[in-house]
Amino acid sequence: MNKIIIAIDGYSSTGKSTVARQLADYLNYIYVDSGAMYRAVALFALQNNYLSKNHFDKQSLLMSLPAIKIEFKKEAKNNRADIFLNDKNVEKEIRTMHVSDFVSPIATLSEVRKKLVSIQHKMGIEKGIVMDGRDIGTVVFPDAELKIFMNANTQVRALRRYNELIEKGQNVSFDEILKNVEKRDLLDTTRIDSPLVKATDAIEVDNSETNREDQFHIILQLAKDRIAKRI
Ligand code: DC
């Protein structure tokens, strides 16, 4: 059976990764969380003191780019691919609020985007991939057979993120999360290189009021239709 590429873009905390994972598991496709790659570069910049609240040494980060190795590897314990930064599993570290606060400026850098998009292209060569992010249907895989653009209202998204982080034991306030979501929306949609925008041929899914199970079945049906067309 011919495999396809599924691109899932949209605002933060719209459940892109949940549905992308569900689809990949069901179809036996590879799942790639492209946001994790931008987060890994932000973590690298923070660890090397290139980035802090009042300071961004962009030049040093750009010079270090060739030395940043980003890979996804399966860990036997959970059978899920975790992200590795220079051979270290950073799956947990990249999900903190600290990294969330600093990742958007990193994602505005064209040199960073170029490097990550090139890795993403290689992952999609054999198709059979579900990738989520902000520019997957517009820049990374403009010919993807199925493109989904996910949205939900800001309060709903902030509450989801808040619950997720509280569940993970992080000490955060709802207001802080709401501000972070709003700030990231603004930076993601207004940056010059590859801003978050719905591809003209993407199908928009607003899940402010849809439950995840229903949403999965709607998107799975779309995927099955596209796969059937390629057989
Ligand atoms: O999906 P996420 O919240 O983990 O993404 C982290 C940041 O990376 C977010 O601010 C947007 C950016 N990003 C991007 O610019 N392009 C992508 N393909 C994926 C994420």
pLDDT tens, residue by residue, 13-59: 899 999 999 999 999 999 999 999 999 999 999 999 999 989 999 99
Give the pLDDT score at 210: 86
194 belongs to a structural domain: yes
Residue type, 214: D
163 belongs to a structural domain: yes
What is d(CA 181, CA 177) in angstroms, rounded to the nearest whole number?
6
231 belongs to a structural domain: no
Task: Name the residue with the closest Cα to ligand 1, atom 14.
Answer: 134
Residue 181 has pLDDT above 70, yes or no: yes
Find the 213 Cα to ligand 1 centroid distance in Å: 24
67 belongs to a structural domain: yes
Give the pLDDT score at 40: 98
Domains in the chain, number? 1
Confidence of residue 86 (pLDDT cuts 50, 70, 90): very high
229 belongs to a structural domain: no
Task: Name the residue with the closest Cα to ligand 1, atom 4.
Answer: 35
The range of the structural domain enclosing residue 108 comes to 5-220
Q: Which of 70, 130, 134, 191 to mutate to test the pocket of ligand 1 (most atoms within 8 A of CB)?
A: 134
- The stretch 65-91 carries a mean pLDDT of 91
Q: Which of 103, 160, 179 to mutate to test the pocket of ligand 1 (most atoms within 8 A of CB)?
A: 103
Give the pLDDT score at 97: 87
The pTM score is: 0.93
106 belongs to a structural domain: yes
Question: What are the beta bridge partners of residue 5?
Answer: 129
146 belongs to a structural domain: yes
Question: What are the beta bridge partners of residue 151?
Answer: 206
List, chain by chain if needed, residues with CB within 6 Å of any ligand 1 atom.
Answer: 12, 34-35, 38-39, 103-104, 107, 133-136, 184, 188
Residue type, 40: A
148 belongs to a structural domain: yes
Residue 167 has pLDDT above 80, yes or no: yes
Q: What is the CATH number of the domain that holds 99?
A: 3.40.50.300
| Region of residue 86 (phi > 0: left; psi between -120 and 50: alpha; otherwise: beta) | left
Give the pLDDT score at 211: 85
Give the pLDDT score at 231: 63
Residue 186 has pLDDT above 70, yes or no: yes
- The stretch 96-111 carries a mean pLDDT of 93
- The stretch 152-173 carries a mean pLDDT of 93
